A and B are shown apart, each in its own frame.
Chain A
């Protein structure tokens, strides 16, 4: 890991009526639009979905690093967070994230250890640490036959 602080940058360009083209250095461009909930088309990435996506992505990458350090063998992880957007104190913001994680491990794996590492990943995720909302983790550990 490079020394902190890190500075992450993205750029976006929009006309009065068009999708927004989001880019960052060498990364593929993302076409973004308002979500269907705000009258958008619902077929492009919205800011709200990007935020929920970062929670999923960060949880998985944090778990991957923790599992490697703790020598936990696993085969598949599905993470499906739900973010709740509400009006609180005259502002609209995300108030709650429920992170649903389904981990598949080889037969004979210490499932208690797997469970502890999933919770450690949730507690160590830098995106949820950066958010005001509460996060709850719902886990399901499947042992391969």
Chain B
């Protein structure tokens, strides 16, 4: 890991109407639009869904790093996250996030250790630490038969 602080930059360009492409150096362009909830088309990533996606991605990469450092073997991690947006003090903002993680591990793996590392990943996630809202983690650990 490069020494902190890090600086991350993204550029977006928009006309009066139409989708908004996001660009970062060599990364494939990401097309965005308002969500269906705000009258958008609903078939492109919106700021709201991207934020939920960032929470989820960050949790997964954190778990991957922590499990590697702790020599925990695992096969698959399927996750979903939901972010609730509400009106608080005359402003719309996210008030809670729930991450549901299903981890598949080989037989003879320590499920208690797997559970602890999932919780540790959630507690260390830089994206959720950057948010005002609380994040709740629900886990399911499946031992491969």
Instruction: Give the residues in chain B near A94, CB-CB below 8 Å.
Output: 126, 130
Q: 1/0 per residue A3-19: CB within 8 Å of B?
A: 01111111111111000
Q: Do residues B92 and A37 form an inter-chain contact, with CB atoms below 8 A?
A: no
Tell yes or no: A131 within 8 A of B by CB.
Answer: yes
Q: Judge whether A39 and B1 touch: CB under 8 Å.
A: yes
B6: interface (CB < 8 Å): yes
Proximity bits, B31-42, A CB within 8 Å = 1, else 0: 110111111001
Contact B13 A76 (CB under 8 A): yes
A107 to B56, CA, bound (A): 45
Shortest Cβ-Cβ A-B pairs, 7 listed: A47-B58, A58-B47, A93-B129, A56-B12, A50-B54, A47-B57, A129-B93
Complex-state Cα separation, A60 to B24, whole angstroms: 17
Q: Are A60 and B57 in contact (CB under 8 A)?
A: no
Q: How would residues 104 to 131 of chain B score, 1 for a CB under 8 Å from any chain A CB and 0 otherwise?
A: 0000000000000000000010110111
Task: Given the known inter-chain contacts A52-B8, A53-B30, please indicate yes or no for A77 contacting B85, CB distance below 8 A.
Answer: no
Query: What is the 8 Å Cβ interface bit string for chain B, positions 5-32, against chain A (1 contact, 0 not)?
Result: 1111111111110001010111110111
Whether the pair B37, A130 counts as a contact (CB closer than 8 A) is no
**What residue of chain A has the Cβ atom nearest to residue B62's Cβ?**
A47
**Is B16 in contact with A24, judged by CB distance below 8 angstroms?**
no
Q: Which chain B residues border A16 with CB–CB below 8 Å?
A: 64, 67, 73-75
For A1, what are the chain B residues with a Cβ–Cβ distance below 8 Å?
37-39
Residues of A bordering B, CB below 8 Å: 1-2, 4-16, 20, 22, 24-28, 30-32, 34-40, 42-58, 60-61, 64, 73-87, 91-95, 124, 126-127, 129-133
Give the distance in Å from the alpha carbon of A16 to the alpha carbon of B70 in the complex: 13
Give the size range of B's interface with the partner. Answer: 35 or more
B116 to chain A, nearest CB (A): 18
A4 touches B52 (CB 8 A): no
| Bound form: Cα–Cα A1–B37 in Å | 6
Contacts of B38 in A (CB 8 A): 1-2, 61
- A30 engages B9 (CB within 8 Å): no
Q: How far is the CA of A24 from the CA of B91 in the complex (A)?
A: 25
Whole-angstrom CA separation of A118 from B60 in the bound complex:
35
One of B15, B61, B91, B133 near A20 (C-beta < 8 A): B61
CA distance A132 to B1 in the complex (A): 24
* Contact flag A49-B93 (CB < 8 Å), given A13-B76, A14-B64, A80-B11: no
Closest CB in chain A relative to B122 CB, distance in Å: 13
Q: How far is the CB of A42 from chain B (nearest CB, A)?
A: 7
**Alpha-carbon distance A38/B20, docked complex (angstroms):** 27
